[in-house]
Amino acid sequence: MSQAASVIDELEQVLSAGSSDRRTEILRRVTDLYLGNATAFNAEQVGLFDDVLAYLIKQVETRALAELGARLAPIDNAPRGIIRSLGRHDEIDVAGPVLARSPQLTDGDLVEIAGCKSQGHLGAISERARLAAAVTDILIQRGDTGVVRKLSRNQGATFSDRGYATLVERAETDDRLAENLGMRLDIPPHLLQDLILKAAETVRMRLLAAVSPDRQAAIQDILASVSDKVLRNAVAPRDFSRALALVDKLQEAGQLNEAAIVEFAGAGQLEDLIAALARLCAAPVELIERLMQNARHDGILLACKAAELRWPTFSAILKARFAPYELPVTDLTQARTDFLKLSVPTARRMLCFWLVRGAAAAGD
Is residue 157 situated within a structural domain? no
β-sheet bridge partners, residue 157: 131
Last residue of a domain, one of 66, 81, 105: 105
Is residue 213 situated within a structural domain? no
Residues in the chain: 364
Distance CA 278, CA 287 (A): 8
Distance CA 63, CA 260 (A): 68
**pLDDT score at 230:** 47
Instruction: State pTM to two decimals.
Output: 0.59
Number of domains into which the chain is organized: 2
Last residue of a domain, one of 54, 73, 105: 105
Last residue of a domain, one of 57, 84, 105: 105
Is residue 268 situated within a structural domain? yes
Is residue 337 situated within a structural domain? yes
Is the separation of the CB atoms in 67 and 89 below 8 Å? no
Distance CA 94, CA 72 (A): 11
What are the residue ranges in the chain where pLDDT is below 70? Answer: 1-19, 200-202, 204-205, 208-212, 214-216, 218-238, 295, 324-327, 357-364
Is the separation of the CB atoms in 143 and 163 below 8 Å? no
**pLDDT score at 359:** 43
Is residue 210 situated within a structural domain? no
Is residue 323 situated within a structural domain? yes
Is residue 130 situated within a structural domain? no
Distance CA 195, CA 200 (A): 10
| Contacts for 251 with CB less than 8 Å, ≥ 6 apart | 279
**pLDDT score at 19:** 63
Residue from 112, 110, 109 nearest 127 by CA: 110
* Dihedrals phi, psi of 166, to nearest 5 degrees: -65, -40
Digit-coded pLDDT (tens) for 174-200:
888 988 988 887 888 778 877 777 776
Is residue 149 situated within a structural domain? no
Digit-coded pLDDT (tens) for 304-340:
999 999 999 999 998 887 776 666 777 788 889 989 9
Exposed, middle or buried, 77 (CB in 10 Å: 0-12/13-18/19+)? middle
- For residues 51-68, one letter each, b for 16 or more C-beta atoms within 10 angstroms of the residue's C-beta and e for the rest, the string is bbbebbbebbeeebbbbb
Is the separation of the CB atoms in 299 and 353 below 8 Å? no
> What is the span of the domain harbouring residue 331?
237-363
Exposed, middle or buried, 190 (CB in 10 Å: 0-12/13-18/19+)? exposed
DSSP classification of residue 220? H
β-sheet bridge partners, residue 131: 157
**pLDDT score at 364:** 39
- Please name the residue ranges forming H helices in 172-212: 175-182, 189-198, 201-210
Distance CA 55, CA 295 (A): 72
**pLDDT score at 186:** 87
